[in-house]
Amino acid sequence: MIVRPQQHWLQLIFVWHGSVLPKIYTRLLLNFLLSITVIAMLPWYTSLGVRFTVAPFSILGVAIAIFLGFRNNACYSRYVEARQLWGAVDDSGPVAVSRGKKYLA
C-alpha cells in the first residue's frame, strides 16, 4: 500500500500534477475575465438607468435546487439498489460453497 505524507490544505490547492486544473484553466481564465469586465461595466450600466435585481437569480437558484434534489434522489436510489444486489451476490457465495461441499461429499 502506498502511503503518502499528508500535505497542508494550502499546498493541495496549488497542486498541478494529477489535477483537473490543466484541463479547465482556460475556462477559468475566461470566466475570470468576463466577471472582471462585468464589474468594470457596472458603473456605466447604472449611469444609463439600468438596474439589476436579484429576482432572476433567486428564481434560477430555486429551479436548480429542485432539479439537483430530484437528481440526487435518483442517484441515491441507484446506490441503494446496487448495494442490495451486491448484498444478494455476497450472500449467495457461502450458500454455493456449502452446496458444492454437499455435492462432493
CA distances from 34 to 14, 22, 29 (A): 23, 20, 9
Per-residue pLDDT band at 84 (split at 50, 70, 90): very high
Span 9-43, pLDDT tens digits: 888 877 878 788 888 999 999 999 999 998 999 88
Mean pLDDT of the chain: 87
Q: Which residue has the cell 458603473?
A: 43
How far apart, in whole angstroms, are the C-alpha atoms of residue 72 and residue 65? 10
The whole model's pTM is what?
Answer: 0.44
pLDDT at residue 52 greater than cutoff 90: no
Q: What are the residue boundaries of the structural domains of the chain, listed by start?
A: 9-104
Contact between residue 16 and residue 22 where contact means Cβ atoms under 8 Å apart: yes
Tell me the three cell numbers of residue 72: 440526487
Please report the sign of the dihedral spanned by the C-alpha atoms of residue 73, residue 79, residue 80, residue 82.
Answer: positive
Q: Which residue has the cell 444486489?
A: 85
- Lowest average pLDDT, out of 5-14, 25-34, 51-60, 82-91, goes to 5-14
